Chains A and B, each alone.
Chain A
């Protein structure tokens, strides 16, 4: 496997989408190639940190107040 081959499989490797044989080939390459090892490590971290971002944060207070005022008839209608 060349570095270019690994680049083509990077997304699938990090997403755990490769069949065992391909996965093993990639792992063997990474073990002997510091550049690709670094690439896989940083790419994996890019995926992980996105997932660690908060999915919700409070609305800005002024906007929440405006939104509540606008939706008041609907919000009252329980």
Chain B
């Protein structure tokens, strides 16, 4: 079977295919629409101006993840500087030591259930917004975007061990936040 030729990357194609993806990553990392819009605008301007330098979809997708994450982090830093309460040293303390795990009750979900109702998706998005930023970044990139931990470590300037530790603690926090919605409730 002959593969169809790859579609030529045009600004319009990039806009249609990638603007929603950029927006979604930025929205989840930054937690609000206005900041996500600023980042999407910055990233799209960069990409359409450099379009000639890309050889295809795979390359541009990888690059866009990286540029979007960088732009979101830079935007957050600017915002923190304005608000004058940045405190990066305490990032790892935001979820406590990570040593205590609440036992909880069994969740009534199917073993292979992966289709989310709109209401469930909304509950999960709200829980993600409640994660402290350093943990939210890792959770969004690892579990929502499904990027490899090594790539996330490079993007965020963290060690691989730090990524794994933050991911684990973010998941435990998500579990606590979502428990009231999933424990002992029968889902269809």
Inter-chain contact A71/B48, CB cutoff 8 Å:
yes
CB under 8 Å from chain A, chain B span 160-176: 164, 167-168, 171-172, 174-175
B68 at the interface (CB under 8 A from A): no
Inter-chain contacts of B168 with A (CB < 8 A): 10-11
B179 at the interface (CB under 8 A from A): yes
Inter-chain contact B145/A55, CB cutoff 8 Å:
yes
Q: How far is the CA of A77 from the CA of B11 in the complex (A)?
A: 8
Other-chain contact of A60, B15, B33, B45, B146 (Cβ < 8 Å): B33
Inter-chain contact A35/B144, CB cutoff 8 Å:
no
Inter-chain contact B139/A41, CB cutoff 8 Å:
no
B135 at the interface (CB under 8 A from A): no
CB under 8 Å from chain A, chain B span 133-188: 139, 143-146, 164, 167-168, 171-172, 174-175, 178-179, 182-183
Inter-chain contact A74/B11, CB cutoff 8 Å:
yes
Q: How many residues on B have C-beta within 8 angstroms of the other chain's C-beta atoms?
A: 48
Known contacts A52-B114, A59-B19, A78-B11; is-contact A46 B175 (Cβ 8 Å): yes
B93-117 interface bits toward A, Cβ cutoff 8 Å, 1 = contact, 0 = none = 0000000010111110100011110
Q: How far is the CA of A12 from the CA of B171 in the complex (A)?
A: 13
Q: How far is the CA of A47 from the CA of B142 in the complex (A)?
A: 9
Inter-chain contacts of A47 with B (CB < 8 A): 143, 171
A49 at the interface (CB under 8 A from B): yes
Inter-chain contacts of A64 with B (CB < 8 A): 19
Inter-chain contacts of B146 with A (CB < 8 A): 51
Inter-chain contact A42/B107, CB cutoff 8 Å:
yes
Listed in ascending order, the chain B residues whose CB lies under 8 Å from chain A are: 10-12, 15, 19-21, 23-24, 33, 37, 40-41, 44-45, 48-49, 101, 103-107, 109, 113-116, 120-121, 124-125, 139, 143-146, 164, 167-168, 171-172, 174-175, 178-179, 182-183
Given contacts A38-B104, A45-B182, list 18 more A-B pairs with CB under 8 A.
Answer: A10-B168, A11-B167, A38-B103, A38-B105, A38-B107, A46-B171, A48-B113, A49-B120, A51-B114, A52-B115, A53-B124, A55-B144, A59-B40, A63-B23, A75-B11, A75-B48, A78-B10, A78-B12
Ranked 3 nearest A-B pairs via Cβ: A50-B143, A56-B20, A74-B48
